[in-house]
Structure formats: structure tokens, C-alpha cells
Amino acid sequence: MINAIKLAPSIISADFARLGEQVREAEAAGADYIHIDVMDGRFVPVISMGTPIVEAVRQVTRLTLDVHLMVAEPERHIGAFMDAGGDIINVHVEASTHLHRIVQEVRGRGRRAGVCLNPGTPVSAIEEILPEVDQVMVMSVNPGWSGQRFIESALSKVQRLRRLIDEGGFRAEIEVDGGVTPENAPRCAAAGANVLVAASAVFNDRASVSENMARLKEALSRVGRGA
Ligand code: DX5
Ligand code: ZN
């Protein structure tokens, strides 16, 4: 049976001049999480946003804040992002020398710990940490920008991860991040993902946030019905 799929709109594509309003629109349209993409100009080429934005978003919603740290040496920053109101703290395995310590610290503060895999990083990189984590993020683009094309090989990665999690009886949820659209969202869900991040498919000039969210939800409603 396929569980309900959670949607995590990423504010990276939102209108920053109306950020609070955009977050409220996403919440009203049925968002489950608000995804916050933190880029440091080192782990990824560009700089995006930091703790003040997390604090600001925390003021306008009670939704789970899913903080995606695309930063070098994330151990130096996880405390500040938890203080700012992050609920799920996701770090990249490629950036974390002491991944286990980071996961322990996040869970020790009662937050959820997520680990992220770049497209070129194998599932085996998280084999040891898998029993300890609350979420695994499978990147379906190379992190750095919104609006990139979905990398199809992410789907088989999700399938393999789903098998490992189910066989091990682990609690980790599987999140897919990058290039998610109404076209590929059902395939992500069918592969075994249960949280989908979407930035440019939710916040764009073509339609309202509620229309875009409705399209994603409608596409997902077909999963399990042979779509
Ligand atoms: C990748 C970020 C993503 C991304 C999503 O750098 O982690 O969250 O911006 O953007 P879309 O959904 O437009 O690919
Ligand atoms: Zn992200």
C-alpha cells in the first residue's frame, strides 16, 4: 500500500518580497512541510539564505520546517538552524566528516535528522547511518539551483533505498528533491518516496501556488491506480 505523500514546497523559488504571504499560500494549499534551501557558496556555488529566513518563516507557519543545508562543515551550523526553528535538519553526507555525531546532536535536541545524497553518491554511503536517521533525501538534481531537469536515475536509487529501509524495519522517510513536477511526482511516489520537494513547480509565474499545488496533488492521487 502506498502511504500518503507529503509535499514540501521549497521557498527558494518564492517571491522573497512577499515571503510570508507565499508561505501562507502554500500552507493553505495543503503543504506538509516548508523546505528551506540553505546554500553557502562553498559546498554549492551560490549563496541563498540563512538563519534569519528560517526565523522569519517560523513566525508565519506551524508547518514542519525542513531545512536543507547545502553547506560545507555542516556541524558548525546545525545548532544555529535548530535555534532558528528548523524541525528537520538535513545535511549532505558528502559534506559531513562526522555524520554520526551530527545525527546524534540533532536527535539529542529532539529534532529530526536527515541525510542527503547527491546524484553521484551511492546509497551505500549511508548504509551504517540508516538505522539512526529520520529522513533520507535523494537529490534528483545536482544541488545549487532550482528549475533544473529531473535526473531519472534517482528513481532506481529511491527503489533500492525503499527496499533497504523496509527490509531493515527502519523509520527513515524518503524525500526526493530537485526537478519534481506533476509528470514525475507519481513515479517518485511509486518508486517508494513519501516526501516530495518542489520549488519551481509550486512558485512560478504560470499559475498560482494553489493551482500548482492542486496539480501536484491531482497527479499523486493517481498513484496506485495504474497511472
Ligand atoms: C537544489 C535544492 C532544491 C531545488 C528545488 O539545489 O535543494 O530544493 O532548488 O528546485 P526545483 O523544484 O525547482 O528543482
Ligand atoms: Zn532542497
Report pLDDT digits (tens) over 76-97.
999 999 999 999 999 999 999 9
For the segment 8-26, the average pLDDT, to the nearest whole number, is 98
3-class state of residue 154 by DSSP:
helix
Residue 84 CB less than 6 A away from ligand 1: no
Measured distance CA(133)–CA(84) in Å, rounded:
21
Q: Please compute Rg for the chain using Cα positions.
A: 16
CB 200 within 8 A of CB 177: no
Residue 200 CB less than 6 A away from ligand 1: yes
| Ligand 1 mean position, distance from CA 31 (Å) | 16
Residue 1 has pLDDT above 90, yes or no: no
Q: Which atom of ligand 1 is nearest to the CA of 68?
A: 7
- Mean residue pLDDT of the chain comes to 97
Measured distance CA(38)–CA(219) in Å, rounded:
28
Measured distance CA(98)–CA(93) in Å, rounded:
9
CB 196 within 8 A of CB 8: yes
What pLDDT is recorded for position 127? 96
What pLDDT is recorded for position 223? 85
What pLDDT is recorded for position 104? 98
Listed residues: CB within 5 A of ion ligand 2: 37, 68, 177
Q: Return the residue matching grid coordinates 535548530.
A: 82
pTM assigned to the model: 0.97
| Ligand 1 mean position, distance from CA 141 (Å) | 7
- Which member of 15, 37, 83, 87 is catalytic? 37
| Ligand 2 mean position, distance from CA 109 (Å) | 22
The answer to whether residue 177 is catalytic is yes
Residue 198 has pLDDT above 60, yes or no: yes
Q: Which atom of ligand 1 is nearest to the CA of 70?
A: 7
- The number of beta carbons lying within 10 Å of the beta carbon of residue 164 is 17
pLDDT per residue as tens digits for the range 136-158: 999 999 999 999 999 999 999 99
Residue 222: band (very low, low, confident or very high) from pLDDT cuts 50, 70, 90: confident
- Which member of 32, 87, 177, 205 is catalytic? 177
Residue 138 CB less than 6 A away from ligand 1: no
C-alpha pair distances (Å), 107 with each of 11, 17, 134, 192: 25, 34, 9, 24
What pLDDT is recorded for position 32? 98
Residue 225: band (very low, low, confident or very high) from pLDDT cuts 50, 70, 90: low
| Ligand 1 mean position, distance from CA 15 (Å) | 15
Measured distance CA(84)–CA(164) in Å, rounded:
33
Q: Given the DSSP bridges, would you call strands 195-198 and 173-177 parallel, antiparallel or unpaired? A: parallel
Residue 86 CB less than 6 A away from ligand 1: no
